[in-house]
Amino acid sequence: GILKATPVNTSGSGDLVSLAEADGVVQLHPREAEYSRGEAVPYRPLKSL
């Protein structure tokens, strides 16, 4: 299957709650060009899929 990421905009103490509810995280390295929609990026699962 294909995994899709949905950004979660939070700031503050709610960040921990959002992370606890996340299935995983993606790692985006700083670079000059913007990331494109559909571009493959490293994914680290936090829960079993």
Q: Is the pTM of this model over 0.85?
A: no
C-alpha 44: how far from chain center: 9
What's the longest Cα–Cα distance across the chain? 33
Give the chain as a DSSP string: -----------STHHHHHHHH-SEEE-----SSPPPTT----EEESS--
Per-residue pLDDT of the chain (49 residues; tens, 9 = 90+): 777 787 777 777 778 887 888 888 888 889 999 989 888 899 899 877 5
- Is the separation of the CB atoms in 35 and 28 below 8 Å? yes
User: Which structure tokens are listed for 29?
Assistant: 């390295």
